[in-house]
Structure 1
Amino acid sequence: MTMRQGKYPFIIGFLAAPVILYAVFVINPYIQAFQIAMTKWNGLSKPKWVGFDNFKALADDDAFKAALWHHLWILIALPLATLGLALFFSFLLNVGGKGESGKTAGVKGSSIYKVIFFLPQVLAVAIVGVLFQSVYRPNESGMLNGLLAKVGIGEVQWLNDPKIALYSIIGVVVWQSVGFYVVLFSAGMSSIPKDIFEAAALDGANRFTLFFRITVPLLWDTLQVGWVYLGIAAFDMFAIVQVLSVDRGGPDNSTTVVALETYRNAFTYAKYGYASAMGVVLFFMTITFAALTLRVTRRERIEY
């Protein structure tokens, strides 16, 4: 009985410091952001309480509404493209080939391919943005337009055309992110007994069946986590848009996102209360998306 009574002070002693640090550096800033969102404040003068006026003003802000619309497209395109490519490459690298005695294995050189796929992940976002500024140059000096010119296709305004600028930036994020999920899914596939794939192959299952009827269901928990991660990333996009887009969210707000509008209102227009209101909206959008995704995509766990 004495040992049980003594364990609680021991546990509390270990948890006290991290809980206090989390409250001070995470919970407290959130609370302050909610408070500032209810004020009109330029960062220097005394804040003026305005209640929900900042949130009401968001409904008439064209740039903010454009940013929300862009997040919707990013939420659809980014996870679908990234997870689809990552699953395909992971399947090839782990069960897409034949090993010794006809056993299931990855394609030849799969370990080297995993390193190559992961390399973009170690690059800073600013470096990736500067790199793709050269790739997307609107004349033949750009890598993509140079290649198109060689096959007789005219120049494409990748970042200057409002119709395709956002998708050009999404393509960059997909390029950088795929490698991480290739490694993540490869780790998940390596935990699946190879006997399952071999037994299915002996029963006549082709690659298509192995992928959609065996691999995807057994990786569903990992796929669900990946979808949540990419959804949260889709609500950010600040750094890559800031570096890569024309006129920071242009042209004509065709690539702007909520985080960029928050930054612009706070540090360009000194409207900290209004910017905090945007941040609060972004916070609730993110946690709502994560909760709904985990709920909707929940399935009964498959044991093997």
Structure 2
Amino acid sequence: MLTSAKTRMYGFVFSFLVIPVALYAVFVIGPYAQAFYISLTNWRGITGNPQYIGFENFTRLFSDEVFWAAVRHHALLLVAMPLITIAIALFFSFLLNLGGGSKGGRMTGVFGSRLYRVVYFFPQVLAVAVIGVLFQAVYRPDGTGIINGLLDLVGIAPVGWLIAPDLALWSIMGVLVWQSVGFYVVLFSAGMAAVPKDVFEAAALDGAGRFRLFFSITLPLIWDTIQVGWVYLGIAAFDCFALVQVLSVDRGGPDNATTVLPLEIWRNAFTFSKFGYASAMGVALFFLTLTFAALSLRVTRRERIEL
């Protein structure tokens, strides 16, 4: 009788899983497997059968200066972008949820926190292409640009935000941070909301100031949420094709100062018709992303605090 009940349960679960798993295999695992195969060929993506060339694309890849420039840019993005975004989002989240202090025995956010939540989240509803066009006007290198127009008012010469090799990548990173902060404010606010308010109120009654409340209580209790946010931001740093495509000079310029791997994959595939070489870059990007996620989860792992 028990075996029959288990059989029916497994059959019920299987009937719900078989279609999603099949779709995932066809539309996700299938293209991945195809990309791995194409990376071992010299296929040009138009006509003819791919010719197997083994690891020739990968050998060429590791001697490609543009590829290594893109990897260095990703390394900078992986360090700077998550740190800046998480720091800003945590600061805003703390203000919106606990920054108002204890009022009537309850922890509250700063005045107008509901409005601020909408304002911070607003960039998330804009398409990436729209954000790129918007910041083209912000970063315009002459006095008609918004930032350079403000600098001109105080007597500072216009700055080539997107045409100076030393500034271009940082300028694009600023847009990535601006776009991302709102989502992580919501994410961290949800993490703080999951912590019982009694914990914060007890700490406030014991005389804990905002600094101690944040670093000694809030940060450890939402560490799992921060860990997830760090991984998400790292993956986003590997996937910044659209903004670089729209904002950079000559698609990755000047002088490859802003190029990233997704842009090089697109360029090799659809500009130079080197689909085999582009697939090799895609495979490299796949393993870089997996390595980052695994290392991040390992390095940031800490003992869970139970309440």
> Do these two structures clear the TM 0.5 threshold for a shared fold by scoring above it?
yes
Percent identity of equivalent pairs: 65
The residue number in structure 1 matching 2:213 is 210
**Do the aligned partners of 2:42 and 2:51 also contact (CA within 8 Å) in 1?**
yes
User: What displacement does 1:262 show?
Assistant: 0.4
Amino acid at match of 1:106: G
Q: Secondary structure at the match of 2:165?
A: coil
How large is the Cα RMSD of the aligned pairs? 1.1
- Residue of 12, 16, 41 corresponding to 1:14: 16
TM-score w.r.t. structure 2 length? 0.97
Question: What are the residue-to-residue correspondences of 1:170-209 with 2, within 5 Å?
Answer: 170-209=173-212
Amino acid at match of 1:83: I
Q: Are residue 220 (structure 1) and residue 226 (structure 2) matched?
A: no
- Residue of 239, 242, 258 corresponding to 2:242: 239
Q: Are residue 94 (structure 1) and residue 88 (structure 2) matched?
A: no
User: What displacement does 1:58 show?
Assistant: 0.8
User: What displacement does 1:196 show?
Assistant: 1.6
- Following the alignment from structure 2 to structure 1, what is the Cα–Cα distance between the partners of residues 158 and 105? 48
Superposed CA deviations along residues 66-119 of structure 1, whole A, max 9, x for unmatched, are 000000000011100100000000000100013542632100110110000000
Q: Where does the alignment leave 5 or more consecutive residues of structure 2 unmatched?
A: none
- Following the alignment from structure 2 to structure 1, what is the Cα–Cα distance between the partners of residues 120 and 251? 29
**Do the aligned partners of 1:42 and 1:270 also contact (CA within 8 Å) in 2?**
yes
Runs ≥4 in structure 1, deviation > 3 angstroms? none
Question: What are the residue-to-residue correspondences of 1:41-190 with 2, within 5 Å?
Answer: 41-43=43-45, 44-98=47-101, 100-101=103-104, 103-190=106-193
Equivalent pairs, count: 304
User: What displacement does 1:142 show?
Assistant: 0.5
- Following the alignment from structure 1 to structure 2, what is the Cα–Cα distance between the partners of residues 213 and 152? 45
- Following the alignment from structure 1 to structure 2, what is the Cα–Cα distance between the partners of residues 35 and 228? 28
Superposed CA deviations along residues 44-63 of structure 1, whole A, max 9, x for unmatched, are 22211110110010111111
The residue number in structure 1 matching 2:290 is 287
Distance 1:8 1:192, change over 3 A: closer
**Do the aligned partners of 1:42 and 1:272 also contact (CA within 8 Å) in 2?**
yes
The residue number in structure 2 matching 1:4 is 6
Superposed CA deviations along residues 1-31 of structure 1, whole A, max 9, x for unmatched, are 2222222222222211111111111111100
- Following the alignment from structure 2 to structure 1, what is the Cα–Cα distance between the partners of residues 137 and 294? 39
- Following the alignment from structure 2 to structure 1, what is the Cα–Cα distance between the partners of residues 6 and 273? 55
User: After the TM superposition, which of the residue ranges 13-22 and 227-236 deviates more from structure 2?
Assistant: 13-22
User: What displacement does 1:202 show?
Assistant: 2.4
- Following the alignment from structure 2 to structure 1, what is the Cα–Cα distance between the partners of residues 56 and 283? 14
- Residue of 269, 273, 278 corresponding to 2:272: 269
User: What displacement does 1:175 show?
Assistant: 0.3
User: After the TM superposition, which of the residue ranges 291-300 and 224-233 deviates more from structure 2?
Assistant: 291-300
Q: Are residue 298 (structure 1) and residue 291 (structure 2) matched?
A: no
Amino acid at match of 1:8: Y
The residue number in structure 1 matching 2:37 is 35
- Following the alignment from structure 1 to structure 2, what is the Cα–Cα distance between the partners of residues 196 and 6? 45
Distance 1:160 1:10, change over 3 A: same
**Do the aligned partners of 1:99 and 1:106 also contact (CA within 8 Å) in 2?**
no
Amino acid at match of 2:260: V
- Following the alignment from structure 2 to structure 1, what is the Cα–Cα distance between the partners of residues 60 and 115? 53
- Following the alignment from structure 1 to structure 2, what is the Cα–Cα distance between the partners of residues 301 and 99? 27
The residue number in structure 1 matching 2:26 is 24
- Following the alignment from structure 2 to structure 1, what is the Cα–Cα distance between the partners of residues 265 and 249? 18
Amino acid at match of 2:21: V
Amino acid at match of 1:190: A
